[in-house]
Amino acid sequence: MEKNIIKYIKDGLETIYKAETENISVAVERTREGIDGDFTVVVFPYTKLSKKKPEDTAKDLGVFIKQRFEDISSYNVIKGFLNLKMTQEYWIQRLNNLVKEKSHKNDSPAQRIMIEFSSPNTNKPLHLGHIRNNLLGDAVSRIISAAGNEVIKVNLINDRGIHICKSMLAWMKWGKNSTPKSTNQKGDKFVGDYYVLFDKNYKEQIAELVESGLTEDQAKEQAPLMLQAREILQKWESGDHEVRRVWEMMNSWVYEGFEETYKNLGIEFDKLYYESSTYLHGKELVKTGLEKGIFTQDPDNSVWIDLTNEGLDRKILLRSDGTTVYMTQDLGTAFQRFEEYNPDKMIYVVGNEQDYHFKVLKKIVEKFDKDYASRIEHLSYGMVELPEGKMKSREGTVVDADDLMSEMIENAKKISQENGKINDLPDEEKDKIIKMIALGALKYYIIKVDPKKQMTFNPNESIDFTGNTGPFIQYTHARICSILRNAEKQKIKFNGKVSDETRLLDCEVKLISSLTEYEGIIIESAKKHDPGMIANYIYDLVKDFNQFYHEHSILKEKDTKILQFRLQLSLQIANTIKTGMNLLGIEVPEVM
């Protein structure tokens, strides 16, 4: 409708003031709560054309539009704002059209967009921070796809490097050939314990060296464990048989653990990349960069790029011993992906602590005279904490993703047993609904927050059945499904076209109006890479529906036309809740 109103306003400017409107923009907004109207037009910019006060300009346009366009029932003017109210017939037609519409319309041409998310290290299990990354990446992928684009979801497994060598070294020194199977542990947790063990002993060595007279920086470099870890990295890169055997074995344990966690979270990828492969492409690019003069080599054989003249710093690409760094791998991976898929955009879902890293990556890519850099985007998001504060992987103070999901399921089970609403269902169906509630609570609580903001995850708040939570939305969907089931039992037909003669309440118009915004919210959310826009849209829709439900009868309504309308409206709201939550990776039950 906004496009129609823009046309109406331009017709008015041309007819009343003889204005050329080709380069004139018209701002149309939804009318604010408490003001009579459905759409509002800001008319201040047109006073130069009318040579009148804003109020008088708005009145001129209001009279013109009301006389010529039958879907406008009335207008009012507040200062320089023209508020237009649509006819009841218009809103009924919009509802009827929603029943027929199935696809999301995007005026922009479809693009091929590659989205990298998750990117775990194979030295520890996934934790709460990874959960936010995965949920954001998955939701953004779904939303961008729903907006009409081709999406390729990729995961870069950081399966090599000094951090991996630390857990390998700890297992080689203290593992005594134990395995996840022999200790009855999930593989990624088993390996993660050795990463923590390395850090514990490494800190003890640093403290001893500092006490002997070294500075802390010197101690960190000269600690025996760090020297041994670097030696393992060198052996790995040179292809040492025994080091590679241990590396492959330990990584296989971790992959099994990751697969289980991804499955529980409902996360899937179209392609997996491994740093152990892409770093070789990076090393080749470093060689090319040296030949082209993009990079420089220091006397100790380390390779650098100097970006100080561009507001950045000097960045290392290869260490003096020839081993690579994250930047080398990311450079190789970026080029490999553009050569393989040629995406219009390459979006990296990575925390804001890596903002600088991606500025440097784009600058380096620019130096190779490719247009790849302009297609790289960093979806930077804030860190997630618990009410107790920050988490630290090395110290073993992180909240394990599996443990968190198990805790959420236990809480959902306890709450469901207390309210008794699903106690009579078969155990299999009951367990399925409980898992839906638990994961819905977890996912929604994280996704509803603007990605750019740091957030605190409170498990108890997330699973509340009131307020802006996943369970509240899920419960409303189940409530509507119950209403529709009862209507079918009573043999009430409501899937047909709603009669134009139906008289609507303001709250019903508001609900239809909200439903018509859904398509635009998807497009805007896709552009801004912000799933929180959809989450909060659904919450507002659900909140308005619940207020309507408490104040007005549906199944007990005596007027047949109104009854059929309200059931059709309820059905469309349920469909929107279901599809919207699905874009967030959240299932909604029909019974709850």
Based on the domain organization, do 307 and 190 belong to the same domain?
yes
Report, as an integer, the average pLDDT of 137-161. Answer: 97
Give the separation between CA 512 and CA 483, rounded to whole angstroms. Answer: 18
Dig out the tokens for 125 from the structure: 């299990």
Residue with tokens 């080398």: 328
Span 81-92, pLDDT tens digits: 999 999 999 999
Q: According to the 3-state scheme, what is the secondary structure of 182-222?
A: HHCCCHHHHHHHHHHHHHHHHHHHHHHHHHCCCCHHHHHHH
pLDDT at 107: 66
Q: Which of 141, 156, 528 is nearest to 361 (CA)?
A: 156
**Residue 230 amino acid letter:** R
**With 0-12 CB in 10 A as exposed, 13-18 as middle and 19+ as buried, what is 78?**
middle
Span 442-477, pLDDT tens digits: 999 999 999 999 999 998 899 999 899 999 999 999
Based on the domain organization, do 371 and 428 belong to the same domain?
no
Based on the domain organization, do 160 and 121 belong to the same domain?
yes
Tell me the average pLDDT of the chain: 93
Q: Is the pLDDT of residue 396 over 60?
A: no
pLDDT at 418: 85
Residues 219-255 as b or e (16 or more Cβ within 10 Å = b): bbeebebbebbbebbebbbeeeeebeebbeebbebbb
Q: Is the pLDDT of residue 36 over 80?
A: yes
Q: How far apart are the first and last CA of the chain?
A: 37
pLDDT at 388: 72
Based on the domain organization, do 227 and 334 belong to the same domain?
yes
Q: Is the pLDDT of residue 394 over 50?
A: no
Span 552-570, pLDDT tens digits: 999 999 999 999 999 999 9
Q: Is the pLDDT of residue 391 over 60?
A: no
Based on the domain organization, do 437 and 501 belong to the same domain?
yes
Residue 590 lies in a domain: no
Instruction: Indicate yes or no: pTM above 0.85.
Output: yes
Based on the domain organization, do 406 and 379 belong to the same domain?
no
Count of other CB atoms within 10 angstroms of residue 272:
11
Q: Which of 364, 310, 302 is nearest to 333 (CA)?
A: 364
Residue 129 lies in a domain: yes
Of 69, 86, 103, the position where a domain reaches its end is 86
pLDDT at 364: 97
CATH number, domain containing residue 68: 3.30.1360.70
CATH number, domain containing residue 351: 3.40.50.620
pLDDT at 24: 92
Residue 112 lies in a domain: no
Based on the domain organization, do 377 and 461 belong to the same domain?
no
pLDDT at 103: 54
Rg over alpha carbons for the chain, rounded to the nearest Å, is 30
Of 330, 359, 385, the position where a domain reaches its end is 385
Give the separation between CA 531 and CA 520, rounded to whole angstroms. Answer: 13
Residue with tokens 């030949």: 291
pLDDT at 106: 61
What single-letter DSSP state applies at residue 163?
H
pLDDT at 193: 96
Based on the domain organization, do 327 and 464 belong to the same domain?
no
Based on the domain organization, do 445 and 529 belong to the same domain?
yes
Give the separation between CA 81 and CA 35, rounded to whole angstroms. Answer: 11
Residue with tokens 């590659």: 114
pLDDT at 42: 94
Of 356, 385, 414, the position where a domain reaches its end is 385
Residue 181 lies in a domain: yes
Based on the domain organization, do 406 and 297 belong to the same domain?
no
Count of other CB atoms within 10 angstroms of residue 513:
18
Residue 502: band (very low, low, confident or very high) from pLDDT cuts 50, 70, 90: confident
Residue 397 lies in a domain: no
pLDDT at 543: 97
How many structural domains are present in the chain? 3
Report, as an integer, the average pLDDT of 495-507. Answer: 85
Q: Is the pLDDT of residue 26 over 60?
A: yes
- Ranges 71-85, 92-106, 114-128, 455-469: which has the least confidence: 92-106
Based on the domain organization, do 452 and 538 belong to the same domain?
yes
Based on the domain organization, do 354 and 411 belong to the same domain?
no
pLDDT at 393: 45
Residue 337 lies in a domain: yes
Residue 588 lies in a domain: no
pLDDT at 494: 81
Distances from the Cα of 22 to the Cα of 13, 192, 443, angstroms: 11, 63, 45
Residue 513 lies in a domain: yes
pLDDT at 481: 97
- Ranges 17-21, 174-178, 209-213, 494-498: which has the least confidence: 494-498
Contact 451/382 with Cβ under 8 angstroms?
A: yes
What are the DSSP calls for 504-566, one per residue? --HHHHHHHHHHHHHHHHHHHHHHHT-THHHHHHHHHHHHHHHHHHHHS-STT---HHHHHHH
CATH number, domain containing residue 571: 1.10.730.10
Query: What domain range includes position 82?
Result: 2-86
Q: Is the pLDDT of residue 77 over 90?
A: yes
